[in-house]
Chain A
C-alpha cells in the first residue's frame, strides 16, 4: 500500500470508518473512491435507532475523491463472471463492476464474507486490504469490529481456499 494509492471502499467500510473515527486519517492518506450506490447506502439509515451510526454527509463527500455512477453494461460484464451474483448487495455489485473496468493499480476494502469470496473468485487476491491495515498505514489505531481487521480478512482468504479444495 502506498500513500495516495486509489482505494475503493464499500458501504460497510465507510460506516465503520466513521464509527471508529478513522475516516479522516484514511482519506487523507489514500485516494478513496466509491460508487454512487455505496455513497447513498452509507447515508441511509434511521437516526432514531439505537444502533444507528451517523455518517456526516459533508465529511463523507470531502473524503471521497470520486463517486462513480455505474451503467448496466458494466454490471453485465461482472454478472456473467460471478456464480453467486444474486448474493451481493447493489452497492457491492456496483463497486465490483467499477473495479472490473479499471486498469490502474487500485486496491479495495470490504468486510463481508460473500463480497470477499466474490473478489477472490474474480482473481483479486492481492487487491483487497482491511480497514485496519489502511488505518495503520495512515497512522491511526482505531478500535475496529472483527470484520474490519487484518486477521478476519486473512481468515476469509484461507477459508475460501479450503472450501474450494485449492490448497
Chain B
C-alpha cells in the first residue's frame, strides 16, 4: 500500500486545521471512519479521491505522492551573507530538501537503517564559552580526529552522527546550512568556498546539529560576526564558533607549534600555521586569543588585513566533489536497482545525463547506464 499518500493526506489535513469529520465530509465519504482508515494506512485512496483531496487543499499531485521532497518536516539553519535574500534561500531550501528527502527515501527502499537515537551535547545558551571549547576538544578526541581534524571531520560526522555532509553548488551568498530532518540530518557546504571557510562552517554546523533541541538556531544566521544581532541568538552563534575553533584546532596540536614560534612576526606565523589545520588565519587568531596565549603587545601587532591564509595555499586546495560518497552510492544503487530513472536522477541533482555519469566516475563507481 502506498502509505506516503496516506501520510501526506494527514499532514495536509492537520496543516489546514480540519478535523477528520470535516475532511471526510469534504471528500464525500459516508463517515469519518473511512478517512481514519486511510490515514492509518489501512485503506488505499482511489485516484478519484486523490484528485478530490488536491481540490480541497489546492495542492498538486506531487505533494501527496513525491517522497523525494520534504512535506511538513525539515528545519534548516542557513549560514549566509546579506546577498542571500529570503526568496533565494527559500528556493535553494526546496532544492536541498529534495536531495535530503531523496536520500532518506532511497535508504528506506534499500534497507539502510537510520538512527532513531540522536546524539546531542549537554550545552545550552547559559553554558560558558569554556564549556563549548571543552566540548569541541572532547569530541575531536572521541572521534579520533588527530592533529588535523579538518581532514577527516566530514567522514567522522557521517560515521558517528549518521548525518550527510553534502558539498553543493550554492547560489552566491550561501555558505552552508544545517538541516534537521527525521531520519536524515544533513550539513550542506558550498563547495566553492575557500577551504578554511568550508571547514569552519562544517564544524560550526556540527554544533547546531548536536544542540538543536535545546538551542534551535535561527533560519538564517549571518556569516559576518558584526551582523549577528543581539541576545540569545548571538550567544548561540558565539558558542558554536568557540566549539568549532576547538574542534578544528585542538590545544595539544597547537601548543608545540606556538612554542616553536620564537620571534617570528605574528601575522606571518598565523598565515603559515593556519594551513596546517586547514583553517583561516583569522580563525586561528581567535582560537589563540580564547586560549589566552597572546601578549598585549602581540595583539596590537595583529592586523586582519594581513591575515590572508584561508586553508592551504590556493593551488594546493582541491574543490570537493559534488555531494558525498554515501549520497552518490545511494543514487547509484537506486539506479542499478531500478528505483529511480536516469532522467529523474539527473533532474533531481540538476545535472545533465553526461554530468551524472561523470559524478559516478568521480567517486570511482561504474556508470550504471548507457544512454
Contacts and interface: CB of A to CB of B under 8 A. Distances in A.
Interface in B319-341: 334-341
A41 B341 CA distance: 14
Nearest to B344: A89
Interface in B59-75: 60-61, 65-68
A64 B309 CA distance: 60
B2 A83 contact: yes
B352 A49 contact: yes
Which 9 residue pairs spanning A and B have beta carbons closest together? Answer: A87-B340, A89-B343, A117-B338, A114-B341, A76-B47, A51-B354, A113-B338, A146-B370, A89-B344
Contact of B371 (A45, A77, A88, A145): A145
A12 B371 contact: yes
Contacts of B341: 87-89, 92, 112-115
B5 interface: yes
A160 to B, nearest CB: 7
Given A113-B335, A146-B370, A147-B371, A46 B344 contact: no
Nearest to B52: A76
A86 B343 contact: no
Interface residues of A, number: 39
Pick from A12, A41, A50, A146 the residue with the most CB of B within 10 Å.
A12
B24 interface: no
Interface of A: 11-12, 16, 41, 45-46, 49-51, 72-73, 75-77, 79-80, 83-92, 111-117, 145-147, 156, 160, 163
B45 interface: yes
A79 B65 contact: yes
B68 A86 contact: yes
B249 to A, nearest CB: 43
Pick from A72, A76, A115 the residue with the most CB of B within 10 Å.
A76
Nearest to A149: B370
Nearest to A82: B2
B352 A114 contact: no
Interface in B17-58: 44-48, 50-51, 54
